[in-house]
Amino acid sequence: MPQARTASRKARAAQTRAALLDAARGLFSERGYLNTKITDITAAAGRSTGSFYEHFTGKDELLQALLAEMEDARDERMAGLEHPRDHDLTDRDQLRDHVGAAWTVMRQNRPVALALFQAMVANDPGTGRAWRDLREQTGTIRMHLEYLLERGHRLPGDPELIAAAMGAMLVTLNYAVLPPSDGEDDQHVIDTLTDLLLHGLAGPAPRAAD
């Protein structure tokens, strides 16, 4: 019996946590992260304010839990792709895989992505949070850029700065662009971002004569 009661309490706790996360997603989508209060989340979830603090110390910790779920979704999406350290981002198909995976996960988890963006820019620049977040979120890109540098490929700057700039472009564009009406719009964005990152403003290299 004690084991059954323990299992029942754990099940109820898991249900409460899931309800709070689901409510937060909905409210972040409707109102934004900054305009959503903890009491709004608990009311939408049908839970008490006290139950919120049994699972999270505050709204930021709840957001980090949503981020962890989003990162799990990204990892699952990348699981079927070849993803060694020597992934060559100068190859358009490989670069597009990265851009497409990042963009798709952000769009599928847009309320969370928008909340993360709002939380990041709302912090005092002196805290360094924005830079830390960008560094953490673009670690894989930085790793691949460092590989290119080791191969002797000429980069326009430091791999860490380039990776952060790429991440900043993606998250800002996701914040600005309204949800598409169909997948074709997303594919257009992915292709545009891929070609911009691959060729820059100089355009693609001229093809060799046949």
Q: What is the CATH number of domain 59-202?
A: 1.10.357
Query: Which regions of the chain are under pLDDT 50?
Result: 210
Domain boundaries, the chain: 1-56, 59-202
In whole angstroms, what is the distance from residue 146 CA to residue 154 CA? 11
* Predicted local confidence at residue 21, as pLDDT: 95
* Predicted local confidence at residue 210, as pLDDT: 43
* Predicted local confidence at residue 182, as pLDDT: 52
Q: What is the CATH number of domain 1-56?
A: 1.10.10.60
* Predicted local confidence at residue 181, as pLDDT: 52
